[in-house]
């Protein structure tokens, strides 16, 4: 039998039907890309659903929840996985459900007492409110996700985070040829301050009415074509020479952007730190593999 992806109407009918028949579910909200008017629809958009319930415990039963939505490929329950959420305080439970027909539902159950904590998200729509608990909400919009202007403290902190990752963690791991650690540091520690700084530069250049998207996924459409062509070259392979080259490219991109933001915002770019980091990178790159001392 040929596989057929169920439509949005069919999936929403399943979600709403499940919520309507269970009296313990009192409020259902949806957020994420499906309610974002600025995101083009595509077949891979998740259904991000938050159900607010009188008792979370019954919804920890996977056999009660998951089969209602059809045949699955895989289900992740993050709170019992190897990386449980830092806010796993018992007031919620969630399932990330990848269905066999291609649809995905991220379904979370929160205790009803926490409802107010979730209404500040500007990308929220109310699907069910059985008791009239939710006040009128503005139409979903990206105001809560816009790039915001930097303060001096944020700017200085961003620079410090970037230069410490680039000038301490990464060259040490590269010299040791610890590829998994190098990749982790670059993507987990270095790219984030670069994305933050580029966001501020975009805000200054085009206005503070845009969102970078999760982990900068909208960067391509917001950067100039020339800068995007340069930035995408920071995504390199496992070759150590290429990784070293990428660090100097990161530094060039970050320094240029940070100087621009500093000039327009009245901040001071830490040029002495940048010069020291450049010098240290150049030195460690040429340091023999059997060196007994750094200098």
- Report the percent of the chain where pLDDT is more than 70: 97
**Half-sphere exposure of 214 toward its Cβ, with a 13 Å CA cutoff?**
3
88 pLDDT higher than 70: no
Alpha-helix runs per DSSP H in the chain: 8-21, 62-65, 152-164, 170-175, 179-185, 191-206, 219-222, 225-231, 240-265, 271-285
Longest CA span, the chain:
71
Q: Taking residues 118-141, report their average pLDDT.
A: 95
Report pLDDT for 90: 72
Q: What is the DSSP letter of 76?
A: E
Cα separation values, 59 from 4, 25, 63, 99, Å = 28, 10, 9, 19
CA-only gyration radius of the chain, Å: 24
What DSSP line would sit under 110-158, residue for residue? EEGGGGGGGTT-SSEEEEEETT--SPP-PPP-SGGGS--PPPHHHHHHH
101 pLDDT higher than 90: yes
Banded model confidence at residue 2, pLDDT cuts 50, 70, 90: confident
Report pLDDT for 1: 63
Interval 77-87: pLDDT, tens? 988 777 666 55
186 pLDDT higher than 80: yes
Q: Taking residues 122-145, report their average pLDDT.
A: 95
Q: 68: which 2 tokens?
A: 């209602």
Report pLDDT for 84: 64
d(CA 104, CA 109): 16
Banded model confidence at residue 38, pLDDT cuts 50, 70, 90: confident
Q: Taking residues 33-58, report their average pLDDT.
A: 94
Q: Which domains does the chain have, with CATH numbers?
A: 8-141 (3.30.460.10), 146-285 (1.20.120.330)
15 pLDDT higher than 80: yes
Q: Taking residues 169-189, report their average pLDDT.
A: 97
In sequence order, the 6+-apart residues with CB closer than 8 A to the CB of 110 are 50, 51, 52, 53, 56, 91, 92, 118
195 pLDDT higher than 70: yes
165 pLDDT higher than 70: yes
4 pLDDT higher than 80: yes
270 pLDDT higher than 90: yes
Q: 137: which 2 tokens?
A: 């909400």
CA-CA-CA-CA torsion sign (41, 47, 48, 51) = positive
Interval 239-258: pLDDT, tens? 999 999 999 999 999 999 99
Report pLDDT for 91: 80
55 pLDDT higher than 70: yes
Indicate the pairing of strand 25-31 with strand 47-53: antiparallel
| pTM of the predicted model as reported, rounded to 2 decimal places | 0.88
């Amino acid at each position: 039998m040929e596989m057929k992806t169920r439509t949005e109407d069919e999936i929403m009918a399943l979600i709403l039907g499940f919520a309507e028949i269970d009296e313990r579910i009192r409020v259902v909200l949806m957020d994420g890309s499906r309610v974002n008017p600025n995101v083009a629809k595509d077949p891979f958009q998740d259904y991000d659903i938050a159900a607010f319930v009188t008792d979370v415990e019954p919804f920890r039963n996977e056999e009660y929840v998951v089969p209602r939505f059809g045949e699955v490929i895989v289900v992740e329950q993050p709170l019992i996985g190897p990386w449980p959420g830092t806010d796993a305080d018992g007031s919620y439970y969630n399932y990330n459900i990848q269905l066999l027909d291609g649809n995905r539902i991220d379904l979370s159950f929160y205790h009803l007492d926490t409802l107010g904590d979730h209404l500040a998200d500007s990308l929220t729509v109310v699907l069910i409110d059985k008791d009239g608990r939710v006040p009128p909400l503005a139409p979903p919009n990206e105001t809560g996700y816009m790039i915001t202007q930097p303060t001096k403290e944020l700017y200085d902190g961003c620079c410090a985070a970037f230069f410490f990752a680039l000038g301490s963690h990464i060259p040490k791991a590269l010299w040791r040829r610890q590829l998994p650690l190098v990749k982790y540091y670059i993507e987990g520690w270095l790219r984030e301050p670069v994305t933050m700084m580029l966001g501020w530069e975009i805000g200054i250049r085009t206005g503070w009415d845009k969102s970078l998207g999760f982990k900068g996924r909208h960067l391509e459409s917001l950067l100039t074509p020339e800068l995007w062509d340069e930035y995408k070259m920071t995504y390199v392979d496992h070759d150590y020479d290429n990784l070293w080259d990428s660090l100097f490219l990161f530094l060039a991109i970050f320094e240029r952007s940070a100087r621009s933001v500093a000039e327009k915002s009245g901040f001071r770019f830490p040029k002495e730190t940048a010069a020291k980091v450049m010098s240290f990178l150049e030195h460690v790159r040429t340091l023999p593999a059997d060196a007994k001392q750094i200098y």
